[in-house]
Amino acid sequence: MSVSQIRYLNVVELGRGALQKLAAACQEHGIRRPLIVTDKGVRAAGLVDRALAQLAGLEHVAVYDGTPSNPTEAAAREACALARQEGCDGLVAVGGGSPIDCAKAVAILVTHDGPLARYATIEGGSGLITPRVWPLIAVPTTAGTGSEVARGAIVIVQDGRKLGFHAWHLMPKVAVLDPEMTLGLPPLLTAATGMDAIAHCMESYMASAFNPPADGIVLDGLERGWAHIEQATRHGQDVEARTQMLSASMQGALGFQKGLGCVHSLSHSLGGVDPRLHHGTLNAMFLPAVIDFNAQAESVVRDRRLQRMVGAMGLGAQGGAYAAGQALGEAIRAMCQRLGLPSGLAAMGVERSCFERVIDGALADHCHKLNPRLASREDYRRMLEASM
């Protein structure tokens, strides 16, 4: 067994009213002139104004709201230019995974030279990301990516590739998880981001790396997320359901330091081919096929991982890994239908003509080799076809 490195590093403020901790978090980490990184939708919803009200006592606050639905290097460079113009000294991300990941890219670019791709994980750039990065406080407005407690970011770089950036220095110093910041999230976005959180919990639990704390965290997160996603989607003002989904999202990201796998290698790649596609929805579409593929993985069978997820989701007793995998796939498809999510990739407008490009990207993705069973080109083609 190889040696496992286990780290849990940042402060999490979780609960109703946590936003009141925002100014103190900035001051604790020497941020006097923050740049808020967000998007136009979050700003239009009034959530940036709520953050600004909490930061009124600071010296100066600037706002960048140009983050696209899939963060890009171009957007991060625009934000850097604004930060320099406004004399900023740190970052506050307000939004879902896109603004938080965009802020992480800003943290790199404002303090490090060269193209962003130089610092990508698959380019061997993680070690080039130094403690010079600007401090970041994250305020999620969705319950999905968990980027507020993660060391990584996914960004589309200048050459069009969708790459991962991973370094402990990128982890937000403080994550402010206030369910009131998620109450206005529309039902379909609540469902899609919620399934993203569930995918993180399930896929990291299947990963074969030895990390018992992560396993415990994500199995509990899966139970919370599965039990509350429908209530949060249908009754968006339910603070308890929103709190539980924020916790599930955070727990999924705490756990995926252990690793992810084929779900994410496929969704990262397809999201790069067509940036209009929502990452969390793609994860939901790929989960059944990847679970079916992983049902034959030695570590998954040995540790009864699929059966344990069946138990956490309250699906009833199942037999072996194959039966549990079938039950999980059926439950995920049924949940997507109840939540109003697409029935498959075809319903999202994906065409088979892009499969080879998606497979190329999946094989090169940083999550590819972390799957408990190594996928071939043909395996990926079958997963794509099964997800249509």
Name the residue among 68, 86, 119 with its Cα closest to residue 279: 68
pLDDT in tens, the chain (388 residues): 567 666 777 889 999 999 999 999 999 999 999 999 999 999 999 999 999 999 999 999 999 999 998 899 999 999 999 999 999 999 999 999 899 999 999 999 999 999 999 999 989 999 999 999 999 999 999 998 899 999 989 899 999 888 889 999 999 999 999 999 999 899 999 999 999 999 999 999 999 889 999 999 999 999 999 999 999 999 999 999 999 999 999 999 999 888 899 999 999 999 988 988 989 999 999 999 999 999 999 999 999 999 999 999 999 877 888 899 999 999 999 999 999 999 999 999 999 999 999 999 999 998 999 999 999 999 999 999 999 9
Record the tokens describing residue 28, joined without a space.
């604790």
Which residue is associated with the tokens 């990452």? 279
Which residue is associated with the tokens 């899966």? 222
Cα(238)–Cα(247) distance, integer angstroms: 14
Q: Report the predicted TM-score, pTM, of the whole model to 2 decimal places.
A: 0.91
Chain Cα centroid distance, residue 266: 14
Cα(260)–Cα(200) distance, integer angstroms: 7
Cα(222)–Cα(199) distance, integer angstroms: 9
Strand order in the sheet with 90-95: 11-14, 174-177, 136-140, 90-95, 34-37, 62-64
Name the residue among 126, 120, 59, 50 with its Cα closest to residue 90: 59
Which residue is associated with the tokens 């194959």? 322
The DSSP line for 274-343 is -TTS-HHHHHHHHHHHHHHHHTT-HHHHHTTHHHHHHHHTT-----SHHHHHHHHHHHHHHHHHHHT--S
Record the tokens describing residue 189, joined without a space.
């976005």
> Residues with Cβ < 8 Å from 87, sequence gap 6 or more?
33, 60
